[in-house]
Amino acid sequence: MKEKNKPVLEIGSHFELEIERMAHEGQGIGKIGEFTVFVEGAIAGESCVAEIKKAKKKYAIAEAIQISKPSEERCSPPCKYINQCGGCDLQHMTYKGQLRFKTLKVSDSLRRIGHINAEVLDTIGMEQPWYYRNKSQYPVGLQNGKPIIGFYKKRSHDIVDLDNCMIQHPIANSIMLAAKEWIKKYNISVYDETKHEGLLRHVGARVGFNSKEVMVILTVNGRKIPFADKLIEMLKGRIPGFKSLIFNVNTQKTNIIMGKENILLYGEPNIFEYLCDTKFQISPVSFFQVNSIQAEVLYSKVMEYANIGKDETVIDVYCGTGTITLLLAKRAKKAYGIEIVSQAVEDAKVNAAINNIENTEFIKGAAEKILPEMAKAGIRPDVIVTDPPRSGCEQKALEVIAEISPKRIVYVSCNPATLARDLRYLEDNGYITQKVQPIDMFPQTSHVECVTLMSKVEK
């Protein structure tokens, strides 16, 4: 028996909605009776006509098809692919509105998930929030028998064929177009993920914003690629700073983009980039912040919050390729980096050598195992910096950090939800959250990075 007055949300049906607030992924949220409706393309404070796309027992997903009362933060998206490509979800908001949304997103997560009462500063944005990505990975596919390159539609693996992306570096877009021409001219086999057949899976680019060096990466379902010499000649003629062409082998039936083996086809195996007056080596698989301009803002804020002195010791947990560790080392007596990925540790050691930074030590292993060993050896850091993946810190790592009891903890996070969870644990174990600084590393999207300062509570 149907519940009385409960609306029937049929797929394709239309409803007039008042948008009360924003979801963390950027959708507007409205109500139809008891149903919560997440509306793609709607902004808090707007009235809109929404078309139901998916209906569950307690919520629905819809798309705004007409804006009856627009928000002052609404603008016309400049990208012609905005209704197709799933890469950007906030282009319909002014940049000022995007920054405000991200500040509120962080504040809401801290309050609702972590019950954290701390100062959340205004999100630091970019002067030019376009063409900022230094790393691009374009999937390659077939459409009506013809090769296409672009990005996936939202929540699908259907490729939108692009000739430009407004958040990728312009050189990366030029590489994409050159690759598309090469594929068509030389009839290069294209991968079909449903059949696990075909050769070329992805075209990748890594661009040094400051060094101007460029690496191109072809991810291939095989170990040979025809007419690579023709592509090299095209890239040499069209791409300023072209330094490297890498052949990445991925023969697995998987959605993971890159395989483990890289073969050098042209030039050097690495490129370099400069951040905060420090030189970093970048390999095809190195982790490196995708927004070089905002990375300098992020790292400067980490240095400010760490406030490390020349007689102090710092440990960088989840150090990756050592970017933050090396910047800290320039101010500290000693800086240690802990990282479980062996290749990242080797890259960190190379970066230390390149910059002649000798007061560092990089250790491979899980933080929850390495930190107690360091404590037993008498290494007591004044500051701990941690920059974990989106899933946040491992519980055991948090336990050990609290037991070691540094004077300050600087927590770098790309996920406000797991940040709030971890701050709650640390606050329950002797720390107070002083301030949180959101930084817009990913304009036009709902993602946001944060730098948080925690201090030891004096007893």
Left if phi > 0, otherwise alpha if psi is -120 to 50, otherwise beta: which for 383?
beta
Known active-site residue 85? no
Q: Scanning the structure block, which residue is given the tokens 């090769």?
A: 147
Residues 6+ apart with CB under 8 A from 308: 314, 328, 331, 332, 382, 383
Q: How far apart are CA 351 and CA 265, in angstroms?
A: 24
Roughly what angle, to the nearest 10 degrees, separates helices 416-427 and 395-404? 40
Report how many helices (DSSP H) and strands (DSSP E) the chain contains, helices first: 9, 23
Which residue, among 321, 318, 325, 406, has the nearest Cα to 359 in the 3D structure?
325
Enter the tokens of residue 28.
């507007």
Find out whether 361 and 349 touch, Cβ atoms under 8 Å: no
Cα-Cα-Cα-Cα torsion 84, 85, 88, 93, nearest 10 degrees, comes to -10
| Catalytic residue, candidates 48, 88, 393, 414 | 414
**Active-site residue set:** 414
